[in-house]
Amino acid sequence: MRQPALELVIAALEKIRDTSNHAPRASRNALAQLLSIYSVAASLPGTPELCEGRRATCVSPKRPQPQQTASHKAEMLASVRERVCGCTKCAHLASSRTQTVFGVGNPDAEIMFIGEAPGADEDQQGEPFVGRAGQLLTKIIKAMGFAREDVYIANILKCRPDMPAGSFGNRAPTPAEMQTCRPYLVEQIDIIQPRVLVALGAVAVEGLLGARGTMRELRGRWHSYNGMPLMITYHPAYLLRNQSPSEKRKVWEDMMQVLERLEKPISEKQRNYFL
Q: Which is nearer to ligand SF4, 181 or 198 (CB)?
A: 181
Is residue 154 close enough to count as binding ligand SF4 by CB under 6 A? no
Is residue 84 close enough to count as binding ligand SF4 by CB under 6 A? yes
Count of residues making up the chain: 275
Q: Which is nearer to ligand SF4, 111 or 159 (CB)?
A: 159
Q: Which helix (H) or strand (E) holds 251?
A: helix 245-261
Q: How far is CA 112 from CA 7, 8, 161, 211, 227, in A?
A: 25, 28, 22, 19, 15
Q: How far is the CB of 23 from ligand SF4 (least distance, A)?
A: 13
Stretch that binds ligand SF4, among 35-43, 155-163, 188-196, 261-269 (CB under 6 A): 155-163
CB 131 within 8 A of CB 88: no
Distance of CA 160 to the CA centre of its chain: 16
Q: Which is nearer to ligand SF4, 20 or 246 (CB)?
A: 20
Is residue 209 close enough to count as binding ligand SF4 by CB under 6 A? no
Stretch that binds ligand SF4, among 86-94, 106-114, 126-134, 233-241 (CB under 6 A): 86-94
Distance CA(202)–CA(212), nearest Å, equals 7
Of the candidate residues 3, 79, 100, 257, the single one contacting ligand SF4 (CB under 6 A): 100
Q: How far is the CB of 228 from ligand SF4 (least distance, A)?
A: 22
Selection from 51, 57, 235 nearest residue 136 by Cα: 235
Of the candidate residues 90, 133, 204, 205, the single one contacting ligand SF4 (CB under 6 A): 90
Residue 83 sits at the vertex; the CA angle it makes with 132 and 199, to the nearest 5 degrees, is 40
SS3 105: strand
SS3 212: coil
Q: Which amino acid is at 33?
A: Q
Q: Which is nearer to ligand SF4, 17 or 223 (CB)?
A: 17
Q: Which is nearer to ligand SF4, 57 or 96 (CB)?
A: 96
CB 96 within 8 A of CB 90: no
Q: Which helix (H) or strand (E) holds 80?
A: helix 66-85
Sign of CA dihedral 64, 67, 68, 69: positive
Q: How far is the CB of 97 from ligand SF4 (least distance, A)?
A: 7
Q: Which is nearer to ligand SF4, 1 or 85 (CB)?
A: 85
Is residue 158 close enough to count as binding ligand SF4 by CB under 6 A? yes
Is residue 172 close enough to count as binding ligand SF4 by CB under 6 A? no
Of the candidate residues 26, 94, 172, 215, the single one contacting ligand SF4 (CB under 6 A): 94
- Give the full edge-to-edge strand order of the sheet including 228-233: 104-105, 152-155, 111-115, 196-200, 228-233, 222-225
Q: Total residues contacting ligand SF4 (rule CB under 6 A)?
A: 14
Of the candidate residues 10, 114, 154, 181, the single one contacting ligand SF4 (CB under 6 A): 181
Contact positions vs ligand SF4 (CB under 6 A): 84, 87-90, 93-94, 100, 157-159, 177, 180-181
